Structure 1
Amino acid sequence: MSMFESLGRYGAALKHAHKRHRSVRALNSLPAEIQRDIGWPVSQRDDPQAKLAALLLGSQR
């Protein structure tokens, strides 16, 4: 396997991960009712314990 094949595979993996992350963010931003209707696990936006954990752990840097 040449160096360029390795770089190509790495680039394709990064592109795939970016698209997947973008799709997950879009689905998580939908209202909870729609998430339930399509079978997506409802994000924990309104969970008080998740809010506390976010406050204690801080935001991503």
Structure 2
Amino acid sequence: MSMFESLGRYGAAIKKAHDRNKARRILNSLPPEIQKDIGWPVSPRSSERASLTGAIWSAAR
């Protein structure tokens, strides 16, 4: 395997991961009703996530 084939595979893997993460971010940004309709697990909203994170970190002290 040449160096260029390895670089090509590495680049393709990075692009695939980027595309997958971009799709996940788009689906998570949809309203909860639409997420349920398409079968995507409903993600907690940022305010819920922030309060949960705050509760976890404050309890750890």
TM more than 0.5? yes
**Unpaired segments ≥5 residues, structure 2:** none
Aligned-pair Cα RMSD in Å: 1.8
TM-score (norm 2): 0.78
Q: Corresponding residue for 2:32?
A: 32
Q: 1:11 to 1:47 in 2, by over 3 A?
A: same
Q: Corresponding residue for 1:59?
A: none
Aligned residues: 54
Q: State the Cα distance separating 1:44 from its structure 2 match.
A: 1.1
TM-score (norm 1): 0.78
Structure that is richer in helix per residue: 2
Q: Give the aligned residue type for 1:8.
A: G
Q: Residue 45 in 1 paired to residue 41 in 2? A: no
**Unpaired segments ≥5 residues, structure 1:** 57-61
Deviates more, 1:13-22 or 1:39-48: 39-48
Runs of 4+ in structure 1 deviating by more than 6 angstroms, as ranges, are none
Q: Give the aligned residue type for 1:38.
A: I
> Computing the radius of gyration over CA atoms, which structure comes out larger, 1 or 2?
2
Q: What is the SS of the residue equivalent to 2:36? A: helix
Residues 7-43 of structure 1 deviation map (CA, whole Å, 9 limit, x = unaligned):
0000000010111111001000000000000000000
